[in-house]
Amino acid sequence: MSSPHAPAPVPIHISGTQALVWSVDDIATLRTQHRICGSLVGTLPAAAQQNVFLGVPLLLAREEVVLLVERQLAVLVDERASYPAPSARQFQEWASARREEVVQQQKQREARERRPPPVLGEEALRRREEREARRERERAARAAKAAEEGEELLEDKDGVLPQEQDQPAAAAAALDKSKGKAPEKDPAHWVTIPSSSLSLPWYTPRTYATLAAARSAGLWTYPTTRGERAKCAAFRALWERGHYLGPGLKFGGDWLVYPGDPLRYHSHFVATALAGRDGTVRPMEVIAFGRLGTATKKAHLLCGWDEGTGQVSFFSIEWANFG
């Protein structure tokens, strides 16, 4: 049983066969308090054309889900069953609140757009005076040149020839004249899309606190086979020793084993779970594990699980004089 002061279990939302965490606070809790990192798989709205930096949701490995639920650190949420059809009254109240929220947001935006500009600072005033003095000198030079050639100088109301007017100066002058005026046209219509559906009045999360209950409901059936149980046991044994674990597919194993947070440390081992201490490993696999570990500067860790005793034994493979 968890203590009265223990933090609330993290909700893991099950969508199909994927386990997702949508709350940033829950993601931070998993990483800092429970040493569970997962993999961010969401697209960043401001950088949608790349996949190097990703955001929420956090996708958890199946072994991570099993560990968290067994330790009562998380509960499973059936996403499909958590959104019953709203009643007519609930929908009307939600629609009315949404309309009022949109109206208030539009009023706030219009107020910001009509807000008078701030008073110019000393530097801005100095630049304006220099710009006006430069225009005056240019006008005087043109007037003197026209007088020498006996031509009549045509000026506009600002004292500058329209066809010879400096474009940057004209743009700056137009900007100066427009400052302080409220926009005459109505602001463009804009729409706000709510980012979370968990606040809907009819949202009723259907949670499962144990793997047995989730299995009975058909929500979560992992682990099923002996190999899957071996993976869960090996993952649990490494986690209990204080390690962080990440996906190891790119390195030919099940997980990468880190001595600390992966943002601060390199992994030391590439771990592979074996279904039984007497499981067979072919010589070619031993050679492949050793060569791959040498190339990546990691030792390959074989995790043998004894189903009878529940114990996990570890064997590392590395080339002679490795490191």
Q: 277: pLDDT confidence band, cut at 50, 70 and 90?
A: low
pLDDT value at 165 more than 60: no
The single residue listed with the structure tokens 């910001």 is 112
C-alpha of 12 from chain center? 17
pLDDT per residue as tens digits for the range 102-124: 888 888 888 887 777 666 677 77
User: What pTM was estimated for this model as a whole?
Assistant: 0.70
CA distance 301 to 298: 9
**Integer CA distances (angstroms), 75 to 30, 36, 71, 181, in order:** 13, 15, 10, 57
CATH superfamily for 1-83+204-222 is tRNA intron endonuclease, N-terminal domain (3.40.1170.20)
- Domain at 223-323, CATH from 3.40.1350.10, 3.40.1390.30, 3.40.50.970, 3.40.50.300: 3.40.1350.10
Catalytic residues: 258, 266, 298
* Ranges of each domain in the chain: 1-83+204-222, 115-181, 223-323
Q: What is the amino acid identity at position 304?
A: G
Q: In this predicted structure, what is the pLDDT of residue 188?
A: 58
Q: In this predicted structure, what is the pLDDT of residue 153?
A: 53
pLDDT value at 26 more than 90: yes
Q: What contacts 55, CB < 8 A, 6 or more positions away?
A: 40, 42, 43, 44
pLDDT value at 202 more than 50: yes
264 against 289, higher pLDDT: 264
Q: In this predicted structure, what is the pLDDT of residue 69?
A: 98
Q: In this predicted structure, what is the pLDDT of residue 151?
A: 60
